[in-house]
Amino acid sequence: MSYHFASINYHHCGASKTWYGIPGSAASDFEKVVREHVYDHEILSCEGENAAFDVLLGKTTIFPPNILLHHQVPVYRAVQKPGEFVVTFPQAYHSGFSHGRTSYAITCSHLLSKTIAHLEYSIL
């Protein structure tokens, strides 16, 4: 589950890719909007605060960003081109899609935390 980890995504070649992201600081607001305005209550796996979260971890969900913006949830958009990196942080919901032919990209999340910790230590 990439939601729990930082990741770095490098785009080698192919069509550009559009990313949408919600900062980790807005994760609970995002989940509340999804729970109240996106999913039907019959879809949710449980009741209460974790209902939307449980579904989101197991599903790919696409809905218009204006639903989030209408409820003051910040949404960021980036277009990643070949040769560029996109970094995602823990608890930051994100999604992306390619603009054309399948592109070749690599995502690495399990080592990123150790790399960042090492860089912080090296800088200090």
Mean pLDDT score, 29-49? 72
Q: In what order do the strands lie in the sheet with 94-98?
A: 76-80, 17-21, 94-98
Domain that holds residue 50: 2-123
**For residue range 66-119, what is the model confidence (pLDDT) as tens digits?**
999 999 999 999 999 998 989 888 888 888 888 887 555 566 655 555 555 555
If you ran DSSP here, which 8-state letter would residue 4 be given?
Answer: G
* Domain count across the chain: 1
CATH of the domain at 67: 2.60.120.650
Mean pLDDT score, 4-20? 86
pLDDT at 124: 43
